[in-house]
Amino acid sequence: MKFLSLLLFTILISSSCCGTKKVVEEKPVEKEEIAIVTKVPNVVVALPIPEPPKPPKEDNSTEISLGEDGTISDDGITETTEIIYTEAFDHSILNDLLKKNVSIDGNVNYNGLKSDSKALQSYIELLKTYQPSDSWTKNDKLAYWINTYNALTIDLILRNHPTKSIKDIKDPWDLRLWKFEKKWYNLNDIEHTILRKMNEPRIHFAIVCASVSCPKLQNEAFTASNLDEQLTNATKEFLSDRSKNELSKDKIKLSKIFKWFKKDFEKNRSLIDFLNKYSDVSISNGAKKSYKDYNWDLNE
């Protein structure tokens, strides 16, 4: 009887242990299966979405969107658009000198510029140090070389001041007075081997030879961001000045600039086409043409 009771007790204990073990083994399996299911969506959502490649930048301008309050809009809703242009070269020193010493009509106070010669020389040193690179835009290069030509012309006059005319200086456009790194420049180098090769005929109304019949020296520096507007205004001002050009439908009396640099104005069109683009007068193709005498007196 004792043996039977012991046997029955052993069977009950064994059954209970097996049942407990089964439950313990099954629970982790259920948890593991749930964990796998919950992790999969998270992995999919976390995958990064590649951005499309951005086109190469053709100039130094940056377009930003402004909201109604004038602050930058980051929600994709554009009320207005503003273009911010980063100049490759800072022409502010020359700009200040011109505003101070050149009248709205282009008359130059060379005595005043002589008093400000240190500022002019510091600007020329900057030009020598930071020359255009391949990364500069065409407008940056044009603004740089136009301002360089005008600054060096002023420097040439100041070196020989007082003088009645730039032509009183021996070989004024061939004097190699300015060393940019390893190269010595003269005014002819800048005009003929650099600026004229950039296919922009309006430069002839921006660079100034310090003479009465030249285009007037603007009382502001040229900048890349405003260059097209500045060149257009300079061209229109020159053509509308009757002391330099007399224009009518059937007869035109032109500055000799149009004779000396005829090829530059006829690269993509006729001379008459160029004149009509920037003049208020409509000139006929058969208009009689002549040239005015050139006054080389100093533009002061």
Q: What is the dihedral of CA 186, 189, 190, 196, to 10 degrees?
A: 150
| pTM greater than 0.85 | no
Task: Say if 49 falls within a structural domain.
Answer: no
Task: Say if 262 falls within a structural domain.
Answer: yes
Q: How would residue 69 be classed by pLDDT, with cut points 50, 70 and 90? A: low
Q: How would residue 57 be classed by pLDDT, with cut points 50, 70 and 90? A: very low
Query: Which of 49, 67, 86 lies at the terminal end of a domain, its last residue?
Result: 86
Mean pLDDT, the chain, integer: 83
Sequence-distant (≥ 6) Cβ neighbours of residue 17 within 8 angstroms = none
Task: Say if 297 falls within a structural domain.
Answer: no
Task: Say if 268 falls within a structural domain.
Answer: yes
Of the listed ranges 37-51, 105-119, 168-182, 279-293, the one predicted with least confidence: 37-51
Task: Say if 42 falls within a structural domain.
Answer: no
Q: Same domain, yes or no, for 111 and 142?
A: yes
Q: How far apart are CA 57 and CA 191, in angstroms?
A: 29
Rounded mean pLDDT, 190-206: 98
Q: Which is nearest to 65 in space by CA: 54, 57, 76?
A: 76
What pLDDT does 85 receive? 72
Q: Same domain, yes or no, for 173 and 137?
A: yes
Residue 252 sits at φ, ψ, to 5 deg, of: -130, 135
Query: Which of 86, 106, 130 lies at the terminal end of a domain, its last residue?
Result: 86
What pLDDT does 79 receive? 60
Rounded mean pLDDT, 266-281: 96
Q: What is the 3-state secondary structure (H, E, C) of the chain?
A: CHHHHHHHHHHHHHHHHHHHHHHHHHHHHHHHHHHHHHHHHHHHHCCCCCCCCCCCCCCCEEEEEECCCCCECCCCCCCEEEEEECCCCCCHHHHHHHHHHECCCCCECHHHHHHCHHHHHHHHHHHHHCCCCCCCCHHHHHHHHHHHHHHHHHHHHHHCCCCCEHHHCCCCCCCCCEEECCEEECHHHHHHHHHHHHCCHHHHHCCCCCECCCCCCCCCCCCHHHHHHHHHHHHHHHHHCCCCCEECCCEEEECCHHHHCHHHHCCCCCHHHHHHHHCCCCCCCCCEEEECCCCCEECC
Q: Same domain, yes or no, for 113 and 220?
A: yes
Task: Say if 48 falls within a structural domain.
Answer: no
Q: Same domain, yes or no, for 173 and 150?
A: yes
What pLDDT does 29 receive? 44
For residue 65, pLDDT beyond 70: no
Which residues constitute the domain of residue 161? 88-291
Q: Which is nearest to 137 in space by CA: 230, 195, 59?
A: 59
What pLDDT does 210 receive? 98
Cα Rg, the chain, nearest whole Å? 39
User: What would the two tokens of residue 236 be?
Assistant: 């229109």
For residue 70, pLDDT beyond 80: no
What pLDDT does 86 receive? 85
Q: Same domain, yes or no, for 64 and 105?
A: no
Q: Same domain, yes or no, for 71 and 100?
A: no
Q: How far apart are CA 192 and CA 156, in angstroms?
A: 18
For residue 280, pLDDT beyond 80: yes
What pLDDT does 78 receive? 57
Q: Same domain, yes or no, for 144 and 287?
A: yes
Q: Same domain, yes or no, for 124 and 234?
A: yes
For residue 256, pLDDT beyond 50: yes
What pLDDT does 75 receive? 56
What pLDDT does 94 receive? 98
Number of domains in the chain: 2
What pLDDT does 15 receive? 45
Residues in the chain, total: 300
Task: Say if 242 falls within a structural domain.
Answer: yes
Q: Same domain, yes or no, for 63 and 167?
A: no
For residue 32, pLDDT beyond 70: no
Write out pLDDT tens, residues 137-151.
999 999 999 999 999
Task: Say if 29 falls within a structural domain.
Answer: no
For residue 216, pLDDT beyond 70: yes
For residue 108, pLDDT beyond 90: yes
Q: Same domain, yes or no, for 277 and 167?
A: yes
User: What would the two tokens of residue 199 be?
Assistant: 């296919």
What pLDDT does 77 receive? 52
Residue 128, Cα to own-chain centre: how many angstroms?
19
Query: Which of 86, 102, 128 lies at the terminal end of a domain, its last residue?
Result: 86
Q: How would residue 127 be classed by pLDDT, with cut points 50, 70 and 90? A: very high
Top pLDDT among 16 and 250 is at 250
Q: Same domain, yes or no, for 66 and 204?
A: no
Q: Same domain, yes or no, for 183 and 129?
A: yes
